[in-house]
Structure 1
């Protein structure tokens, strides 16, 4: 099993790759400080590694939490873990999730993390919790591995990264969020499916952000009846376009009861909490029916604890599951879903603001304002200017 120390050390260099003009990375050095531009003239490509030129990156909520100081992060680092790009160099024998050899020119989405594939956690099916995990957009930059996140012109992918070839048909705005939000939505439904058949379920989704909206579309396309709860009327209107049978303001228990009654179901079989609000987490646990499952996906930053009534959970045969990130199968499943169903829902509209790479601070501020479901950062402007 690889040790955590080894996880931070790039693989032995097999080839030096010169980048002319140099790659550019926007480096975050701490809360309240503007990003700094770092030029990277080359990388040492090790065994199992890939160099990708980034086409588009999107801002995830955890990026905002980091820059606002709500979660700890090592500095300096390159933020960003939702992205799509094109392979410009690759070590021999690197394979995509479908088993095909990755080649220069492939358009790809890659996972938020690289795992060792050999520790106890990897062998037990939770590689996202690998003992020597490396996460893009979360690691301190270091010599020979500066291109560590999505807010850059290029990304240097480590051995153990899940790579999915995505072809040319889907817009970058649909593909980039798959590396975190869409894959997490798929993972949440997959874990729920292990308890309750989602195809025939009545599903409550708390929060109409990217994860909630994507999960709504995925579940409704499978035949589930979906209720979405969100305090923002614009988000509720959007939820109906993603397949929600009901979209309600969750203020007060009566709103959820009325929405459930309107579906004709007796209780919620699946409750997916995708906002991270402690109040919403409590509401999710309170709302689940007998034999149902609550899946928590967005409680990824420090918050107030939530009271728990163990007797109700025991007598109600309830299951509570936490989903953080995803497995390689989940990323492949999410992208497969988008390949076949993205045109049926307004996924492309979820990215409603776009900024050049040099304006990453403005992009983060726009994302924090919450008007756009996703804000994009386009590094191609920086590449064209050089």
Structure 2
């Protein structure tokens, strides 16, 4: 991507102290703190002071070299923050509300053009000119492109949703990735299985899987979650599952469904990415059912497919990757409205300051915590700034740590 050219209508923000971004330089290389004193906002763009971020599994996969991502770059794509300033013409939420400085927001993992053939088909997450926060190479004039920083620079075409002041940041940050993806997965499944209360098997009790379980239970579904980890199986009842099974125990699945008085699942949502789990999902689904693959976002060996069984079983297999703005809005509404039922904030089992991001990633890489948080409200350079003026005068925003 070429460096951005500063346009006459651009708004220059000067931050004092400078924003800080933790830059990933590549596999087995230390993170490096980079100061960003100036941000230039184009029309429709937004500068955000980050409040909290969480470490997604894909961040860990990238840092370990299990998936490719351009370096150097600022990782992190689960976040919540407050508006500092908006570019020329302002910016609006998904619902069309004008954004004002100080507004607490969650935003999409991506920015889309809204005009290409994919966007007009509703596939905005696969826009021809897609930009993904936390996944892009560091470039001049867009250094603050990921969530592991005190501030972020949101590009035009980003889905933004205002959030309330009472929902914990730990519950809100994952909305922009895992939670919204879970909503998209359920929506895809229910388009195929159009019954009131289908039986749902969730493969993988990570954040996506637990969110799917809670979504399905709220809809009145019978929910079973499969995960090989004892600790995670113990957790699933708190998110609505009727039962948990160890997929490594022969006959456990059949025994569990029989105990629930059902032959098996109408919907299987595979959220782990395990090759064995994908095969098991295809084998488990009932006639006329749907298998939604959402966890396979890193390379694995191919999975054997029996086309005859799919054809005779009238099975639909669907891949879901990321989500639309409508899914983001629905995910936020779900989390804000379910704090008394589902303990999403408790899934962040440890929190570190930005300066100790490396320690947080190391803990997340153990596979123990569902999520590890990064508290950005007290990090060096964190803060908010008053709205600036157009290029006729440089803005100097005195920022104090919160």
TM-score by length of 1: 0.96
1:269 maps onto 2:266 in alignment:
yes
Superposition deviation, residue 11 in structure 1: 7.5
Which residue of structure 2 lines up, in the alignment, with residue 358 of structure 1?
355
1:252-288 deviation digits (Å, cap 9, x = unpaired): 4511111111221122100000000000000001000
Among 28, 31, 34, the residue aligned to 2:30: 34
- Residues 1:291 and 1:224: Cα distance change in structure 2 (over 3 Å): same
User: Could you tell me whether the CA contact under 8 Å between 1:198 and 1:270 is conserved in 2?
Assistant: no
What count of residue pairs does the alignment treat as equivalent? 381
Kindly indicate whether the alpha-carbon contact (under 8 Å) linking 1:57 and 1:82 is maintained by their aligned counterparts in 2.
yes
1:51 aligns with 2:47: yes
Q: For residue 382 of structure 1, give the secondary structure of its aligned residue in structure 2.
A: coil
Contact 2:74 2:148 in 1 (8 A): yes
The aligned counterpart of 1:147 is 144
TM-fit CA distance, 1:9: 4.3
CA deviations 1:44-101 (Å, max 9, x no partner) are 0100100000000000010001000011111110000000000011122311011111
- 2:153 aligned residue: 156
Q: Distance in 1 between matches of 2:91 and 2:377?
A: 26
Structure 1 residue 198 displacement after superposition: 6.2
CA distance in 2, matches of 1:188, 1:127: 16
> Partner of 1:301 in structure 2?
298
Find the residue that maps to 2:58 and give its secondary structure: helix
Structure 2 unaligned blocks of 5 or more = 383-399
Q: Report what 1:260 is aligned to.
A: 257
**Structure 1: gaps spanning 5 or more residues:** none
Greater mean deviation of Cα atoms: 50-59 or 249-258: 249-258
In the TM superposition, 1:77-156 aligns within 5 A as 77-91=73-87, 92-156=89-153
Greater fraction of residues in helix: 1
Which structure has the higher relative contact order (CA within 8 Å, separation 6+)? 2
Alpha-carbon offset, residue 167 of structure 1: 1.5
Q: Tell me how far apart the structure 1 counterparts of residues 48 and 164 of structure 2 sit (CA, whole Å).
A: 15
Q: How does 1:337-356 map to 2 (within 5 A)?
A: 337-356=334-353
Q: Partners in 2 of 1:312 and 1:242 — Cα distance?
A: 32
1:60 to 52, 56, 60: 56
Aligned-pair RMSD on alpha carbons?
1.4
Cα offset, 1:381, TM superposition? 2.4
For the residues of structure 1 that align with 2:78 and 2:48, how far apart are their CA atoms? 13
Summarize the Cα distance change of 1:35–1:10 in structure 2 as closer, same or farther, 3 Å threshold: farther
Would the aligned equivalents of 2:45 and 2:90 in 1 still touch at CA under 8 Å?
no
Moved over 3 A (4+): 8-13, 383-386
User: How many Å apart are 1:197 and its aligned residue?
Assistant: 3.1
